C-alpha cells in the first residue's frame, strides 16, 4: 500500500516517529480529531517491523502485553525477529 511506499521514501524519519508513537502508547489522531486507531497503529508497527533493528524487539514485546496494541505488536515482532535472524 501507499503507507509503506511513503515509509520507503523516508525510512529513518518514519521509523523515528513510529518508535515515538509506540513508546507513548497513545491512539493516533487524524484530521478533525477523528481517531483512526487501526491506520495509525498499522503504519507505526509496519514501519518498525520493516526498518527496525534489535533495539526494537523489547519495545514490541512490551506493547504485545497491552491489549489494544497486542495484535500489531506480535505481528511486527514476528516479522522483525525473522529479519534480524537472517
pLDDT in tens, 30-77: 666 655 656 778 889 999 999 999 999 999 999 999 998 999 999 999
**Residue-level pLDDT at 1:** 54
- This prediction has a pTM of 0.81
Pairwise CA distance, residues 6 & 39, whole Å: 14
Residues forming beta bridges with residue 35, ordered by sequence position: 29
**Residue-level pLDDT at 58:** 95
Considering only CA atoms, which of 24, 23, 4 is closest in space to residue 14?
4
**Residue-level pLDDT at 59:** 95
For the chain, count helices (H), then strands (E): 5, 0
**Residue-level pLDDT at 8:** 85
**Residue-level pLDDT at 7:** 81
Amino acid at each position: 500500500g501507499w503507507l509503506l511506499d511513503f515509509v520507503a521514501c523516508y525510512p529513518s524519519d518514519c521509523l523515528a516517529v513510529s518508535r515515538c508513537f509506540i513508546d507513548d502508547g497513545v491512539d493516533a489522531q487524524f484530521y478533525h480529531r477523528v481517531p483512526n486507531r487501526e491506520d495509525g497503529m498499522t503504519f507505526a508497527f509496519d514501519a518498525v517491523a520493516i526498518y527496525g533493528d534489535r533495539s526494537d524487539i523489547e519495545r514490541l514485546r512490551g506493547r504485545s502485553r497491552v491489549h489494544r496494541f497486542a495484535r500489531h505488536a506480535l505481528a511486527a515482532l514476528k516479522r522483525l525477529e525473522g529479519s534480524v535472524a537472517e
